[in-house]
Structure 1
Amino acid sequence: MHSSPTFDVQKWQMEFSKSGRVKCWTLMERSTWQLLEAEGVLTCPIGSANDDPVLQEAYAWMKDSMASAGVLAPEPGVSPWWCWVRREQNHPEPYIEDAEGLHDPVVLQLSLPAEQIVLSCFDLWHCVLNKWYVWSSEFDEQDFDRAMEKAEEGSVAALQLQRRMQKSWLAIFELDQTVMDMGPFEAKSIQGCYWTLRLADVTAVIERDALTSHHQA
């Protein structure tokens, strides 16, 4: 059983929704898009996600957070799909640089049911990836750093600090928070996670060459 969420997922689902749906963009290989065209519905197997152990740990934390917010995986052994809800202020879709690393990418513009997507701050997500503490004030940061210096690896204190750090990561879901000087809400890069990709939710297919460069923004 999952605990009750300590972040307000519905607030942001409503903030970014129109008629109960959220407009977003997902980057993928053309072969995956062709498979979606053929099958109509796709989930993302864990084996298809990045196999970097650091990323896998961060993905597992995101999956647990989604579940605690009531956005449950449809089946075992799947990883969430990722999307952009707002790449940057006044630029919602991804940039051409975001397609780097993909062999033959396309961008799917989607309209997802709001209750099926969990939104988070892209920049603060790097704290989860890098196992950084999300401090709420300069005093909080210094207090955590001092405690880390004193704690011995594997000790009760170290485990407590690990839990404190993971709890601090929940700030990534509070999109209007001001911790770590991530800028105003209107300028934040917002990403989304959802479990099921449906052909019926695709509203446009955008070729890589149609994307603008980050340097042109």
Structure 2
Amino acid sequence: MAEKLFREGRLIADPQLECEVFERSYRWMVRQMAKRSLHCQYPVWAWYRHCNGRPRPDLRATGHLPPGTHGVLLQLNVESHRVLLSQFELWHCVLNNSHLSRSEADNKRVERREERGEVTQKEIEASWENIFDLKFGDYRYWGKLEERYIQACLPLLELSDVVKTTHFKAR
């Protein structure tokens, strides 16, 4: 992907690389981006804030790419009006098609209502809007605000957005 960005001067995500299991969730994110005038067929994903408030992943850790694979970490500077930020942990409610609760007590109330068949898909999807509120969620349930992972979705990435490149070999 980085090669394409440097070759063409911009990177637009390829929907062919989409994971079919999460197609519904990704399409939901595309609709959310469109609501905010960020039109695209598929988003480019990046980190705004990673583990424990750090701005980028720790390349010494495993799991970024298959071991031995050469990768490129891009440090970006993107204008705020070109990006949609959301809480990564909360995004998993969208991926799992589950209600996004503010707290453990709220989650238990929703679970009781779900058992009675009282929670609608419309209500579940409405709860997902909270992933965009970077202060949403009880810290005892979701963790401290300053330590939460924040993901960034962009309609495209411009070469001019790249501030620094770091080449690495995955562990």
How far the C-alpha of 1:198 sits from its partner, in A, is 1.0
Q: After superposition, what is the alpha-carbon deviation per residue over 1:60-105, rounded to whole angstroms, capped at 9, x for unaligned?
A: 11111111223222xxxx2100001110234211123352348432
Paired residues of 2:53 and 2:148 also in contact (CA < 8 A): no
- Partner Cα separation in structure 2 for residue 127 and residue 47 of structure 1: 24
Quote the Cα distance in structure 2 between the aligned partners of 1:69 and 1:100. Answer: 31
1:112: how far off?
0.9
| Aligned equivalent of 2:88 | 122
Structure 1 segment 67-216 matched on structure 2, within 5 A = 67-73=34-40, 78-96=41-59, 97-101=62-66, 103-151=69-117, 161-179=120-138, 181-209=141-169
Shift of 1:129: 1.0
Cα distance in 2 between the residues matched to 1:70 and 1:198 = 17
C-alpha distance in structure 1 between counterparts of 2:63 and 2:162, whole Å: 19
Question: Could you list the per-position Cα deviations for residues 10-48 of structure 1 after superposition, in whole angstroms to 9, with x for gaps in the alignment?
Answer: xxxxxxxxxxxxxxxxxxxxxx22222121122112112
8 Å Cα contact 2:76/2:164 also seen in 1: yes
The code of the aligned residue for 1:147 comes to R
Contact 2:53 2:149 in 1 (8 A): no
* C-alpha distance in 2 between matches for 1:142 and 1:88: 28
One-letter amino acid matched to 2:90: L
Structure 1: segments with no counterpart, 5+ residues? 1-31, 152-156
Change (3 A) 1:148 1:105: same
AA in 2 matched with 1:119 = L
Local SS of the residue matching 2:101: coil
| AA aligned opposite 1:165 | I
**Change beyond 3 A, Cα 1:45–1:148:** same
Q: Percent identity?
A: 29
State the alpha-carbon separation in 1 of the partners of residues 143 and 166 from structure 2.
29
Which structure 2 residues correspond to residues 37-52 of structure 1 after superposition, within 5 A? 37-49=6-18, 51-52=19-20
TM-score, with normalisation over the residues of structure 2? 0.85
Alpha-carbon distance change, 63 to 165 in structure 1, aligned in 2, over 3 angstroms? same
Higher relative contact order (CA 8 A, sep 6+): 2
Look up the equivalent residue of 1:191 and give its one-letter code.
Answer: Q
Correspondence list, 1:14-53, <5 A: 32-49=1-18, 51-53=19-21
2: CA distance between counterparts of 1:139 and 1:107? 39
3-state secondary structure, aligned to 1:79: coil
Q: Deviations 1:116-154 (Å, cap 9, x if unpaired)?
A: 000011111111111221123455433322332232xxx
